């Protein structure tokens, strides 16, 4: 049985940071669709050209493009035993696609970690990140708000989708606190 996990939550919830420790704990590679798209942007690839304006606006890349990129990544040798997916799925269509993909590979999700962080805290973290990491999609308050809204409208329903389906443990974790505190909460929640 492979081990595919999700780390889920709004922009600036700390998914990328927590994924660093969680992937080691779970023993699977970290697969971040946001990082993959940004690599295409900085590499100026064909895909990078297609998604440039979409990322800058804070909207979602079309599902067919994103799913294809994930399928190719999950077909690589290092993810044969599983992966910690970060930033994917971002809507229920992608969630259903992932279920189908995993079922086609005779496996299913092993766990979903949801980081809960209030909107006000997200906004101030996003502003701080724009200054520190020079991420243009974090710098503009309108884009920041759009990304939070997109999460609420399109991504958050994935949590209800997984709960209703009842096939995977959904671990909801308070994402406010020091990196170490949140990491300890995640570990206590996922166990192992």
In whole angstroms, the minimum distance from the beta carbon of 189 to ligand AMP comes to 21
**Distance between CA atoms of 112 and 165, rounded to whole angstroms?**
13
From CA 189, how far away is CA 192, in angstroms rounded? Answer: 9
**Marked catalytic residue, from 15, 23, 73, 125:** 15
Q: Which stretch binds ligand AMP (CB under 6 A): 21-29, 73-81, 87-95, 109-117?
A: 87-95
Report the distance separating Cα 28 and Cα 138, nearest Å: 28
- Confirm or reject binding of residue 151 to ligand AMP (CB under 6 A): no
Options 52, 135, 146, 187, the catalytic residue: 135
Q: Tell me whether residue 135 is one of the annotated catalytic residues.
A: yes
The CB density around residue 74, as the number of other CB atoms within 10 Å, is: 19
Is residue 147 close enough to count as binding ligand AMP by CB under 6 A? yes
d(CA 187, CA 127): 28
Whether residue 116 lies in the annotated active site: no
Instruction: Note whether 28 binds ligand AMP by CB under 6 A.
Output: no
Instruction: Tell me if the bond preceding 21 is cis, omega within 30° of 0.
Output: no
Residues 53-82 that bind ligand AMP (CB under 6 A): 54-55, 58-61, 66
Q: Which residues are catalytic?
A: 15, 90, 129, 135, 147
Query: Which residues of this protein are in contact with ligand AMP, per CB under 6 A?
Result: 11, 33-34, 37, 54-55, 58-61, 66, 87-90, 94, 137, 147
């Amino acid at each position: 049985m492979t081990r595919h996990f999700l780390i889920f939550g709004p922009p600036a919830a700390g998914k990328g940071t927590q994924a660093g420790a969680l992937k080691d704990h779970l023993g699977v590679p970290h697969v971040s669709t946001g990082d993959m798209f940004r690599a295409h942007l900085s590499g100026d690839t064909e895909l990078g050209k297609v998604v440039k304006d979409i990322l800058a606006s804070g909207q979602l890349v079309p599902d067919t493009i994103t799913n294809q990129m994930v399928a190719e990544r999950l077909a690589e040798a290092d993810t044969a035993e599983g992966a910690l997916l970060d930033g994917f799925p971002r809507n229920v269509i992608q969630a259903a696609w992932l279920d189908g993909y995993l079922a086609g590979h005779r496996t299913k999700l092993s766990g979903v970690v949801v980081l809960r962080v209030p909107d006000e805290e997200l906004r101030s973290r996003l502003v701080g990140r724009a200054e520190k990491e020079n991420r243009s999609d974090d710098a503009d308050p309108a884009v920041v708000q759009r990304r939070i809204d997109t999460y609420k409208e399109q991504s958050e329903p994935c949590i209800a989708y997984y709960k209703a389906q009842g096939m995977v443990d959904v671990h909801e974790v308070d994402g406010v606190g020091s990196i170490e505190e949140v990491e300890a909460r995640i570990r206590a929640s996922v166990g192992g």
